[in-house]
Amino acid sequence: MTPSRSVIAEKARVLGLPAIGFAPAERPPTASALDTWLKQEMAAGMHYLLREPARRKDPRVYWPAARTIIAAAVSCAASSDDPAPGPLQGVIARYARGDDYHRWLKRRLKALGVFIQTEWPGVRWIACVDTSPLLERAHGRMAGLGWIGKNGMLIDRKLGSHTLLGFLLLDRPLATDSPTSDHCGTCRACLDACPTGALVAPYVLDARRCLSFHTIENRGPIPHNLRPLPGSRVFGCDMCQEVCPWVKKARVPPDHDRVVPRPGLDLVDLT
């Protein structure tokens, strides 16, 4: 018997996946933007994005049996009791301050898959986090979890954009949600706040200038002209999110059993 969406959503909440949505397992309408972005060489040193782009753009190429995507979002937003970094501490991007989400988030997705399989014998599924070749934010938008902001982040009215995303691909069809409409309006706070001008246009990020790329993905030296700009940031950059009005309005507490913020790294120890 096919489980209802409400039953799946309630089980997801119990498992620690408070926000979920349902999308068709198909190529998102915005997938062609990836080709343009790659041709303009804005992926910088992330050469893995150039491998098998067809798999990345269409989940049915990644897993031909896929029919439905269950998208899940878990907040990693700040709360009032988060420890503030000291003056000699390096700042870490908010998503990376807790336990490794690749492990615990995937465990929760797998537990949801087992539950669905119990309720719906014979169904097959695959649990995915950001190590899988999916256009995560595009599928999140299709599942109604938010819209893609001008900073390229998935933004939800309640959660903001400080979220961790995970996906469960099913080989059976389910009723799907409607994509979320854009609510950025005329705001350009994220573009104006980017310390390196990496947001070269609304919805367009040039990773060659992005501090998140240079402090996480870049295996070589940071370009000379960008070296003064990270400040105390040692892993990632949240500036384009911190200035977002929707992030400032977010009031949903983080999942503190796993997303427990830790103090920053001691800059003296890093020298």
Q: What is the pLDDT of residue 89?
A: 75
Task: Tell me the pLDDT tens digit for each residue of 127-178.
Answer: 999 999 999 999 999 999 999 999 999 999 999 999 999 999 999 999 999 9
Strand partners, 166: 72
Q: Walk across the sheet containing 233-235 and list its strands.
A: 233-235, 89-92, 265-266
Single-letter code of the amino acid located at 198: A
Q: Please report how the helices 5-14 and 101-119 are oriented relative to each other, as an axis angle in degrees rounded to 10.
A: 140
By the 8 A CB rule, do 257 and 16 touch?
yes
Q: For all residues of the chain together, what is the average pLDDT?
A: 91
Spatial CB neighbours of 53, under 8 Å, sequence gap ≥ 6: 34, 35, 38
45 closest CA partner among 181, 197, 216: 216
154 closest CA partner among 142, 168, 141, 135: 141
Burial (Cβ within 10 Å: 0-12, 13-18, ≥19) of residue 111 = middle
Q: Which of the four pLDDT bands, split at 50, 70 and 90, describes residue 78?
A: confident
Q: What is the pLDDT of residue 183?
A: 97
User: Which of 77-81, 90-94, 239-243 has maximum average pLDDT?
Assistant: 239-243
Read off the tokens for 2. Answer: 């096919």
Task: Tell me the pLDDT tens digit for each residue of 194-223.
Answer: 999 999 999 999 999 999 999 999 999 999
| Spatial distance between the Cα atoms of 255 and 95, rounded to a whole number of angstroms | 11
3-state secondary structure of 59: helix
Is 109's pLDDT higher than 90?
yes
Q: What is the pLDDT of residue 80?
A: 55
Is 268's pLDDT higher than 60?
no
H or E element: which one contains 200? strand 199-201
* Residues identified as active-site: 130
Q: What is the pLDDT of residue 266?
A: 64
3-state secondary structure of 167: strand
Q: What are the angstrom distances between the C-alpha of 165 and each of 75, 206, 226?
A: 9, 22, 30
Least confident of 22-26, 59-63, 88-92, 113-117: 88-92
- Cα-based angle 169, 178, 152 (whole degrees, multiple of 5): 80
Task: Tell me the pLDDT tens digit for each residue of 7-57.
Answer: 999 999 999 999 999 999 999 999 999 999 999 999 999 999 998 889 999
Least confident of 12-16, 105-109, 178-182, 257-261: 257-261
Kindly provide the b/e burial profile for residues 144-164, where b requires at least 16 CB atoms within 10 angstroms of the residue's own CB: bbbbbbbbbbbbbeebbbbbb
Q: What single string gives the DSSP state of each residue in 79-102? A: -TTPPPP-TTEEEE-GGGSSS-HH
| Spatial distance between the Cα atoms of 131 and 171, rounded to a whole number of angstroms | 20
Q: What is the pLDDT of residue 260?
A: 64
